Amino acid sequence: MMRELRVLSPTAILGYGFPMESFIEGMKRKPHVIAVDAGSTDPGPYYLGAGIPFTDETAVKRDLTIIIREARKNNIPVIIGSAGGCGGKPHVQEVVNIVKSIGKENDLLFKMAIIHAEISKELVLNKLEEGKISALYPAPVLTKREIEKTERIVGQMGIEPIIRALEEEAEVIIAGRAYDPTVFAALAVKEGYDTGLALHMGKILECASIAATPGSGSDCMFGYLGEDYFKLEPLNPIRKCTTLSVAAHTLYEKTNPYVLPGPGGVLDLQETKFEQETDNIVKVTGSKFIPSQVYTIKLEGAKKIGFRTISIAGTRDNIMISQIDSIIDEVKERVQDNFKEADYKYYLDFKVYGKDAVMGCLEAVNSINSHEIGIVIEAVADTQKIANTICSFTRSTMLHYGYSGRISTAGNLAFPYSPSDFKAGEVYEFSIYHIVEVDDPYELFPIDYIDIGET
């Protein structure tokens, strides 16, 4: 019978933090690896396109200092996936710089692997010409023009490049964009554990204690992997893993409850079973990995589409609130008419909080039940100057717009801030959300090695 392989997941995303008490409890269980996912596409395309992390450098350094010091003290590897949030070259480099400073400040010696995930446009263009790129629904068919307009492209690596770094005895591994479960599963698969169970465990651990109840993305989770099972345990006594919380998280971010596609195959959950082993530990069995005939990698890319300016306001005039849809339409018409000779190309949007700002056209509640509403005016244009102009004119037009029944003459809107308009800068959208066929799992992910602490 195989020994249990133990994995500590400190936090849902590197930089989200964790209580020291929970982390200490995790180290008491003598993990074989500390792994943490550092990224996601959830914050949208801006961070990928702009090359900026969505987590704070000071917060990331705090988490990593604790993790790396304890890992080196216990001679176990640290694996970081989707470094810097998006896993592109500048994102990875920021984490590399943080790790170097931690090594220097703490007099640590270790071998660091850097697995790159940013992919050149030339390579993607070649793959497109070879017919090896296909769209992920609902993305459109990829074109040469879209690739050329894309600012940055990353590939979502599987477990294989991370296993290679472990085989080269890397003690800290900083991976670019990675399939979320891989950093938790790589050591296990390298050691001969079942791939399906390892990946399913990784699927849960990547969000740390979000899979517990009450859930938290800023608290630790522990995984135990055996020959034909894995177990999950939150490390804070206020949390519990239940069959419901773990099964529910298994369905998280999935379009099919039984099949989870990933690099090189799919995770088949049709025979998965969840068992409440103790009051706070859940045991999972039956998960399987089915390799695909062709190894594919998901590509993510973002392109710049303009510049944004926003204005935030509110109103508690019940007459205005009752007419808000028609007022917005009339204000839009007024803006369009005012600048028709300038022939500006712009996008103008209103988000009405208290009405349908969250759900938009999917909102099931048709009536406004609040005595006040919040209004966000957004203008996007080819230049910041045009975006400023459109937002400013829209804001002033709405402020003094004469709707039916209006009593106030001082203005319709209340502004919480001065200045009232905020230049939000560059705007990006996802331009590539496709899969690419590769000849081998390592093809897109070169590895560099650095010895930290050596003079």
Report angle CA 246, 252, 256 to the nearest 5 degrees.
110
The predicted structure's pLDDT at residue 253: 77
Q: Are 184 and 9 in contact (CB under 8 A)?
A: yes
Query: What is the C-alpha separation between 283 and 231, in angstroms, rounded?
Result: 4
Tokens of 422: 């905020």
CATH code for position 422: 3.30.70
Same domain, 444 and 383: no
Do 312 and 382 reside in the same domain of the chain? yes
Count of domains for the chain: 2
DSSP 3-state of 80: strand
**276 & 385 share domain:** no
- Residue-by-residue DSSP string for 382-447: SSHHHHHHHHHHHHHHHHT---TT---SS-S-B-SSSS-EEEEEEEEEEEEEEEEE-SSTTTT--E
Same domain for 236 and 95? yes
Identify whether residues 275 and 320 lie together within a single domain: no
Under the banding of pLDDT at 50, 70 and 90, the label for residue 172 is very high
pLDDT of residue 2: 67
Out of 241-255, 275-289, 317-331, least confident range: 241-255
- Name which of 46-50, 62-66, 120-124, 255-259 the model is least confident about: 255-259
pLDDT greater than 70 at residue 162: yes
Q: Chain centroid to CA 331: how far?
A: 36
Region 35-51: mean pLDDT is 96
Residue 178: count of CB within 10 angstroms of its CB:
32
Q: Are residues 231 and 88 in the same domain?
A: yes
> With 90 as the cut, is the pLDDT of residue 394 above it?
yes
pLDDT in tens, 77-128: 999 999 999 999 999 999 999 999 999 999 999 999 999 999 999 999 999 9
In a domain, 146, yes or no: no
Judged against a pLDDT cut of 90, whether residue 242 lies above it is answered with yes
- The confidence band for 252, taking pLDDT boundaries of 50, 70 and 90, is confident
d(CA 64, CA 236): 20
Q: Provide mean pLDDT across the span 49-65.
A: 97
Q: Which residue has the tokens 């529910």?
A: 248
Domain shared by 310 and 287, yes or no: no
Residue 173 lies in a domain: yes
Contact 428, 302 (CB under 8 A): yes
Residue 179: domain span: 5-117+157-295+438-452
Residue 132: inside a domain, yes or no? no
Q: Are residues 199 and 319 in the same domain?
A: no
Q: In 3D, which of 297, 300, 302 has the Cα closest to residue 436?
A: 297
pLDDT on residue 137: 86
- Based on the fold, state whether residues 40 and 183 are members of the same structural domain: yes
Q: Are residues 81 and 211 both part of a single domain?
A: yes
| pLDDT at 1 exceeding the cut of 80 | no
**Model confidence pLDDT, tens digit, residues 362-386:** 999 988 889 999 999 999 999 999 9
Note whether residue 130 is domain-resident.
no
In a domain, 237, yes or no: yes
Residue 21 lies in a domain: yes
Identify whether residues 372 and 446 lie together within a single domain.
no
Shared domain for 319 and 382, answered yes or no, is yes
Q: Is residue 73 part of a domain?
A: yes
**Residue 400 neighbours by CB distance under 10 Å:** 13
Q: What is the average pLDDT value for the chain, to the nearest integer?
A: 96
Do the domain assignments include residue 95? yes
Q: Does position 455 have pLDDT exceeding 80, yes or no?
A: no
